Every structure is written in C-alpha cells, then in structure tokens.
Amino acid sequence: MTRQVVVTGLGMTTPVGGDAPSSWRAILAGEPGIARIDEPWTHDQPSKIAGIMAVDPASCLAPHEARRLDRSQQAALVAAREAWADAGAPEIDPDRLGAVVATGMGGLISLISSYDLLLERGASRISPHMVTMIMPNGSAAHVGLEIGARAGVHTPVSACASGAEAVSYAARMIQEGRADVVVAGGTEAVIHPITMAGFAAMRALSTRNDDPAAASRPYDIDRDGFVMGEGAGIMVLESAEFAAARGAKIYGVYGGSGLTSDGHHIAQPDPEGRGATRAIAGALSDAGLSTGDIVHVNAHATSTPQGDIAESAAIVAALGSHTGNVAVTGTKSMTGHLLGGAGAVESIFTVLALRDRLVPPTANLHNLDPQINLDIVAGAPRPLPAGDIAALNNSFGFGGHDVALVFRSA
C-alpha cells in the first residue's frame, strides 16, 4: 500500500501573473500574457514575441539575494516562498523534507552573460556565484536551502517535460517513505537572442509578430509554432497522513504518473504519439483509475503544427471511447511555453481546475484543426461535474520524453 500524496501549497510566477491566484484568474479569463519583446536584439530574429514574467522576480527578492541567483533561480525561489507560505510553512523534521525543482536549461543566460563579461573585462571580474548560478540543480538547491530540506534535493532534466517529471519524482519520494513533505516544481528563464535564434532555427517558434496575443493558438488551424515563455511553478506535496495531522488545507490529490520515451527522434514527436499514449496509460494505472474517471486534460499543446496532432492522437488512443467526455485545454495559449517550468505550472492549473471544477479556455482557438479529434474548451471556462473527478496533465520534451500526471479532486 503506497502512501497517498496530497497537494497543500501552490506558488508561481508566470507571464500572466506574479503569483498563483493572479495567474489562475488570468487563465480562467482567457487572457494571454504574450507581448512583443522590447529589445533591440530582436531586429534579425524570426520570432520577436514572448511571454515575459508579469512581475520581475528580482523585484520580489532582497538585492543581495537577486544578485547571486540566475533569473530562473529567482523565479523558483519566489514561487517556492509563495507555495511554502500557502501551505502554512509546515513544521517538519528537516530530515523528512525534500525539494525537487526541475529546469530544462538551467542558468544558461548567466553563463552567456558571464562570458560576455570575461571577454570585456577579464577573468578576475567573474562573480564567485557564477558556478552556482549556472548549474542546473541550482534552483533545487536554493529552494532546498530556503526551507532547510535534508531528505534530498533533486533536479530532473528532460527539456519541456522536466517540471512534470519533478512532480512525479517528488511524489515518489513521499510514496516510498523517504520524505513526508516535498516542495516540487520547475523553472525556466532563457529568453535571450541565442535561445530565440536556436529555437527559430528549428522552425519551432511562432512568427506571428504583428499579433503577439494571438500567436500561441494550440489546435487552431492557423497555429505556426510555440511562443517562448518564462517563469516557475512550485507545489507543496505531502503525505496525506502528515497533512491530516497538521490540519492542512488540501487542494487536490496526486494520483499517479507515467513516464516513457518515444525512441523516435531527437526533437520531433512520434507522429502517432505512441510514447505519450503509454505515458497516459501508465499514469492511469499508477493512479488505479480507468479512462472513464478522467474528465479533464491540461494538454501539452504547445501550438506547433505536428506536436498538437501527435498529442491528440495519443489522447484518443489512451482514452478511447471516453475521449469525447473529456474537456481538454491548452493553457500555453496564454502563458507561452515555459519549457522546464511548463509541466509544474500546468500541474498547478490542473489541480486548480479540479478544485474550482472549472476548466480554463484555450485562447485563440477560432478554427479547430480537423485533424484534432478532441473536445477543446474555448471561449469561456467550462464547469466540471460534482463528485470524485480526476484530470490528466501531459508534458513532452525534446529528446522524446513523455510524462503524464494524474490528479484527483480533494
């Protein structure tokens, strides 16, 4: 009998809000946080738009904290403080407390900035914090230090599936008895000419530069790529017994996870979504649920032409005849793609949808691609039924990583 894991605290900083409540309000209202990047370096960039964090995370930190953290680490720390406070700052033996914070690219921008500084002013000007700013485990380590975690601090890295993998890893730590409380999530902040150029070279980014708010449009026939986003999402997971003993408020229940790999291509999805299908089936099995229990999917839905079709095929293959009863949404239509932060932020949206029994709309969906055979929520939020309900959150990453998470209503 594995231990049940519940969600007791939420925190985030995203392109649509500086915290979880404001982000969730914007998502329910269908308001995209995508804008033109106001920098001279965009002049030769195919994609000149992005979802910049609505609130600069550095402004939420003391100056001496901000200066020794990469922007992705700043976002993670801001979101973690919100989530920890939201959970009521549990009193716990540090040996039973963990932190799992994922990232796709770590402190890449700090590395580039430091190299610029080195070329300009020499080796002696490099910050003694550079190494800890660029290491991918830096966010997890800083969050772990913040709360005093000693049960383990970990950083899964699986590109755009990283945040979801972190939630899965954290839940396992609790299920296996390594920890009673784990602060889990993902973060990313790599909006920079070099990354924009790299993703553009893959022809992965939307170039709808004249209408940024309409650029991220999952499932719409006129979608043309994803929109770069940045931010972090952190949730506090704890064993149900520990949460009950301290009278914690429960947002939702972690059901289970499925993790597979495509074995197909380094960056393109398997057109039939077979790895994703197996991940969804695995998550349902791990959660002890059947396809009919799922009422909502927060899809990966990046707004790329091929990716959305492959995921649609996977959802249909995994849920079969129940697919038509499932309200699917793509919240990247509003946040853009937070890469390693996406799976965590969208897990939080999934938990909030179950709590409020309200599925947020997919923004910018005007003409459904006929190859998408899903019931996509668009225009306005859609109510979910009463009673015990469950939802899926899908995340996939370059490299062929597939992660599906199941959450249940509290």
Partner 1 sequence: MSQQILEGLAAIVNEVAGVPVADVQLDKSFIDDLDIDSLSMVEVVIAAEDKWGVKIPDSEVKNLKTVGDAVTFISANSK
Q: Which residues bind partner 1 (CB under 8 A)?
A: 62-65, 67-68, 124-125, 127-129
Q: Which DSSP helix (H) or strand (E) runs through 393? A: strand 390-397
In the bound state with partner 1, the residue whose beta carbon lies nearer, of 125 and 366, is 125
189: CB partners within 8 A, 6+ apart: 53, 70, 71, 72, 74, 75, 109, 230, 231
The string of DSSP codes covering 266-303 is SSSPPTT-HHHHHHHHHHHHHHT--GGGEEEEE-----
Shortest spacing between CB 61 and partner 1, in angstroms = 10
Taking the complex as a whole, how short is the minimal distance between the CB of residue 146 and partner 1, in angstroms? 15
* Dist CA 160 CA 266 (whole Å): 13
CB of 65 to partner 1, least distance (A): 7
Judged by beta carbon, residue 124 or residue 321, the one nearer partner 1 is 124
φ and ψ of 306, to 5 deg: -80, -40
Cβ-contact 269, 262 below 8 angstroms: yes
Residue 114 and residue 45 in contact, taking contact as beta carbons nearer than 8 Å: no
What are the start-end ranges of the E strands in 72-217? 97-103, 152-154, 181-188
Closer residue to partner 1 in complex, CB, 60/160: 60
Tokens of 356: 């409020």
Burial class (CB in 10 A: 0-12, 13-18, 19+), 268: middle
* Nearer Cβ to partner 1 (36/129): 129
Least CB distance from residue 151 to partner 1, whole Å? 25
- The Cβ-side half-sphere exposure at 288, using a 13 Å CA radius, reads 7
Smallest distance, partner 1 to C-beta of residue 14, A: 27
Consecutive H or E run containing 134: helix 130-134
User: Considering beta carbons, is residue 67 or 265 the nearer one to partner 1?
Assistant: 67
- As measured in angstroms, the least distance from the Cβ of 144 to partner 1 is 17
Q: Which is nearer to partner 1, 78 or 318 (CB)?
A: 78
Q: Which is nearer to partner 1, 141 or 179 (CB)?
A: 141
DSSP state of 213: G
- The string over 294-328, giving b where at least 16 C-beta atoms fall within 10 Å of a residue's C-beta and e elsewhere, is bbbbbbbbbbbeebbbbbbbbbbbbbeeebeebbb
Least Å from the CB of residue 128 to partner 1: 4
Alpha-carbon distance values, 25 to 62, 68, 142, 249, 365 (Å): 27, 32, 29, 20, 19
Q: Is 301 left (phi over 0), alpha (psi -120 to 50) or beta?
A: left
CA–CA distance, 181 with 288 (Å, rounded to integer): 22
Q: Tell me the catalytic residues.
A: 160, 300, 337
Q: State which residue, 25 or 125, has the beta carbon closest to partner 1.
A: 125
Q: Characterise 320 by phi-psi region: left (phi > 0), alpha (psi -120 to 50), beta (else).
A: left
| Residue 169 main-chain phi, psi, to 5 deg | -60, -45
Radius of gyration in angstroms for the set of CA atoms belonging to the chain, rounded to a whole number = 20
**Least Å from the CB of residue 89 to partner 1:** 21
